[in-house]
Amino acid sequence: MKSLEELRALREKMKSQTDNRSVAGSDETVIKVGMATCGIAAGARPVLDALLDEADKRHLHNVSISQTGCIGMCRLEPIVEVFKDGQKFTYVHMTEDKARKVMNDHVVNGNPVKEYLIGEN
């Protein structure tokens, strides 16, 4: 930080990302990223950051993004669960690029990315 303006800009950015982590209502999409030690070690932090960044860029206010603990399938980490339209979709072996594609194709356009889903690859 070199100036107060940089600090204010960072505060606003973090505030908008925090807003995306709020509790979702019935018409919202909920996204959970496995952030236990296994998920973090496999690269879940950049995946979470990519999802938050995409939601922020697209001004998606009906999407809740949050961290969760161990999902229980450590060998498939990073794992992202998407709860949309009453269904749960479990995406495995996620990367930043895959997260951005899921956000665009599934969350925004309603088309699950089957090749990233558990049991589909």
Q: Is residue 51 part of a domain?
A: yes
In the chain, the number of structural domains is 1
Q: Which residue has the tokens 């990315």?
A: 113
Q: Which helix (H) or strand (E) holds 63?
A: strand 63-68
* pLDDT tens-digit series, residues 43-101: 999 999 999 999 999 999 899 999 999 998 999 999 999 999 889 999 999 999 999 99
Q: Is residue 102 part of a domain?
A: yes
Please state the pTM of the whole predicted model.
0.77
How many secondary structure helices (H) and strands (E) does the chain include? 4, 4
Q: Is residue 30 part of a domain?
A: yes
Q: Is residue 121 part of a domain?
A: no
CA dist., res. 105 & res. 87, Å (int): 16
Range of the domain at 25: 4-116
Residue 7 CB neighbour total at 10 angstroms: 11
- Of residues 105 and 10, more confidence is placed in 105
Decide if 74 contacts 38 (C-beta within 8 A): yes
CA dist., res. 118 & res. 121, Å (int): 7
CA dist., res. 62 & res. 79, Å (int): 21
CATH code at position 56 = 3.40.30.10
